Amino acid sequence: MTDLERHDYDVVIIGAGGSGLRAAIEAREQGRRTAIICKSLFGKAHTVMAEGGAAAAMGNANPRDSWQVHFRDTMRGGKFMNNPRMAELHAKEAPDRIWELETYGALFDRTPEGKISQRNFGGHEYPRLAHVGDRTGLELIRTMQQKIVSLQQDDFAATGDYEDNLKVFSECTVTELLKDSSGRIAGVFAYWRETGRFLVFCAPAVVLATGGIGKSFKVTTNSWEYTGDGHALALRAGSTLINMEFVQFHPTGMVWPPSVKGILVTESVRGDGGVLRNDTGSRFMFDYVPDVFRKQYAETEEEADGWYDDPDSNRRPPELLPRDEVARAINSEIKAGHGTEHGGVFLDIATRRSPEFIHKRLPSMYHQFKELADVDITKESMEIGPTCHYVMGGVEVDPDTAAAANVPGLFAAGEVSGGMHGSNRLGGNSLSDLLVFGRRAGSGAAQYLARIGTDRPAVSEDDVTAARNRAVAPFGREGGDNPYSLHQELQQSMNDLVGLIRTAPEMREALSRLQLLKDRAATLTVEGHQQFNPGWHLALDLRNMLLVSECVARAALERQESRGGHTRDDYPTMSAEWRQVNLVCSIAPAGDGIELAHQPLPKMADDLIRLFDRGELSKYLTPAEMAALPVGVQD
């Protein structure tokens, strides 16, 4: 196969979003030759759609904030299903990662005193989100791209080659992870999207930074790249996925017109004073505050409105509950017949803030609604509804090194990894998660390389041949399904049967449909040739989407409780016994489906559990766990 393009690197990063770029920067700064493989154009990663800000307990808006408070909020938001070590590292290190971005050239909004401004978001006790208007993700990507350019300039000064130690391969898609005979990562197999030509990257360390799975659902905020590539690559390589039943439906996506249904409406609207109303104009969120949060949220509109100016004397508005609670409340209002003409509810900031404030703080939202829906949000309410946004589940990783389970040389960071967010992610925790664990993944890969030294694994030519044959197989078939029709059926099935509200019969039906879709996908037919062929690209993506969708459906059927991003109509409450269980997905030994196993949730260290009082812990823990609490937990 002499026509294959071949490259040798120390570290290959798959994904050029926030976690991928931060991992690449770290690996390069630790002296490792690094390649970044980017499915879309460089700079177009889905991180740019993260609008509200990056959560970090810097204490700029309220000096009472601290990493301990941030840790508590994260655990509460995840309903105590989080990996506590990941939540701890994230809360402790997020401020340093934000300040570090400033040294790269990030231009955050400022307080009158000149500090980084921090805004309110759902589930966060204090204003904690560092932001750039409502375009924070874009600034994060711009800043880290500029850092990569500066590192390339350093290389040019030293070697005369800008790409000597750090190179970006844009519009390139990875289809397989390659291992040696002992099971270690040896490289990746990929293709150029433009020409269809194949590439092999030989590298002993690979970092997955591929984002989420949202394109398996019909209504989603996610862009076209989010087809579960990293999740599926890890599974097929022998690693495991955890928490896949927990899929976050963001409460506020556009619902009209149909062409833009699902596009994200940032939580910043609610953080800056926006409120939710039903068709009668009622602020219905006061009716949906769960008992576990009741002490922390306002009971009247007067108290809620007073919180914005005097948070020490008033409790938070219920519009700022964690996303899973808000999404379920909106869904309940719509089902009860109190929705809008187009099947959503109203999000009102026009009567709450001045046009000048809205233009300054929410410029992207103003333009989005004006251009896409002909709605002036300084004068009118927005119509919004829940939309598939984020998967809390992902590759099982070591919290400190981001090393993936069972596969030496494989690492994962960002949305493709699991554990950090538990059953529900707080808004703003994603961007800081990308930075904290992107850095740790890059560092973990560099440390792994130091341990193996010159004992680098070799790519098997038989594996390369097999990967190529799988990639071109759709061209050799006749009479099979069209990839586009199959994708539409998958999205509709996941939306209808494994969506925001779930039942056992519906999920069993979903698994039956998924099996039929997998059988049909095995005979998909693609016409034309490999150049500029989006139908072929989708056929390859469907292999990943079907595998990951099965993980979601099987785990959701297995978990017999409602928690965070997983709501069962037939098991409507949280179960302390189920909280102790991580559901772990792996490829079945026969290689033809998903195997599910129960695994104990990692225990929280004594110093961390003492940050909570017994009354709160009793809402989540079993009697046996309560009896075993360490000395020092307050009543």
pLDDT at position 619 is 94
Angle subtended by helix axes 136-159 and 18-29, to nearest 10: 30
DSSP state of 568: B
Q: Residue 504: is its pLDDT beyond 70? A: yes
pLDDT at position 45 is 86
- What is the per-residue pLDDT across 335-360, written as a single tens digit (0 to 9) for each? 999 999 999 999 999 999 999 999 99
Architecture in CATH of 475-580:
Up-down Bundle (1.20)
Distance CA 551, CA 428 (A): 26
Within 8 A by CB and 6+ apart from 216, the residues are 227, 228, 490, 491, 494, 545, 548, 549, 552
Distance CA 108, CA 89 (A): 23
Token pair listed for 464: 């390369």
Phi, psi of 192 (to 5 degrees): -75, 130
Q: Is the peptide bond before 257 cis (omega within 30 degrees of 0)?
A: yes
The β-bridge partners of 596 are 585
Q: Which amino acid is at 296?
A: Q
The β-bridge partners of 11 are 34, 205
> 277 and 345 in contact (C-beta within 8 Å)?
yes
Q: Which residue has the tokens 């309410």?
A: 381
pTM (2 decimals)? 0.94
Distance CA 416, CA 228 (A): 8
pLDDT at position 44 is 87
> 603 and 624 in contact (C-beta within 8 Å)?
no
Domain 251-389 belongs in CATH node 3.90.700.10:
yes
Distance CA 274, CA 357 (A): 12
Token pair listed for 94: 């997020």
Segments of the chain assigned to CATH 1.20.58.100: 475-580
**What's the mean pLDDT in 379-406?**
96
pLDDT at position 1 is 54
pLDDT at position 602 is 96
pLDDT at position 585 is 98
**What's the mean pLDDT in 445-452?**
98
- What is the per-residue pLDDT across 532-557, written as a single tens digit (0 to 9) for each? 999 999 999 999 999 999 999 999 99
CA distances from 546 to 276, 417, 551 (A): 35, 18, 9
pLDDT at position 593 is 87
- What average pLDDT does the structure give for the chain? 95
Active site residues: 250, 270
> 244 and 391 in contact (C-beta within 8 Å)?
yes
Q: Residue 2: is its pLDDT beyond 80? A: no
- What is the per-residue pLDDT across 167-224, written as a single tens digit (0 to 9) for each? 999 999 999 999 999 999 999 999 999 999 999 999 999 999 999 999 999 999 999 9
CA distances from 401 to 18, 412, 602 (A): 17, 9, 16
Q: Hey, CA dihedral for 349, 353, 355, 359, is it positive or negative?
A: negative
**What's the mean pLDDT in 67-87?**
97
pLDDT at position 443 is 98
Q: Residue 21: is its pLDDT beyond 60? A: yes
CA distances from 192 to 95, 198, 462, 559 (A): 38, 6, 21, 40
Segments of the chain assigned to CATH 3.90.700.10: 251-389
pLDDT at position 548 is 98
Within 8 A by CB and 6+ apart from 619, the residues are 291, 292
Q: Residue 129: is its pLDDT beyond 60? A: yes
